[in-house]
Amino acid sequence: MNTNCQIDDRNTPSCVSPPDPELIAEGWERRFIADAKRAQDAIEMYGEMGHEARLEPVNTIGLSEACSGCLILP
């Protein structure tokens, strides 16, 4: 991770938009942000443990300059 990107108390980089309040109200928690391959692995792992999981795209529009190093586009 880019060292200029600060992490808040929910382990979310400061340059990434906060979780969707509607999803939070429904009881969902953001666990981590990952690339597509790692995210798919996590979905499978959580499912094997009997948990529900969902993928949400990261909103890249508001990324700060400090976090541009964290974003890798194909």
pLDDT at residue 25 greater than cutoff 70: yes
pLDDT band for position 2 (50/70/90)?
very low
Answer whether residue 11 is part of any domain: no
C-alpha 15/C-alpha 53 separation (Å) is 23
Q: What is the pLDDT of residue 71?
A: 60
Structural domain count of the chain: 1
Cα separations in angstroms, 72 against 1, 20, 33, 46, 60: 11, 22, 13, 25, 11
Cβ atoms within 10 Å of 70's Cβ, excluding its own? 17
Calculated CA dihedral for residues 45, 50, 52, 58, nearest 10 degrees? -20
Answer whether residue 5 is part of any domain: no
- Domain residue limits at 51: 21-67
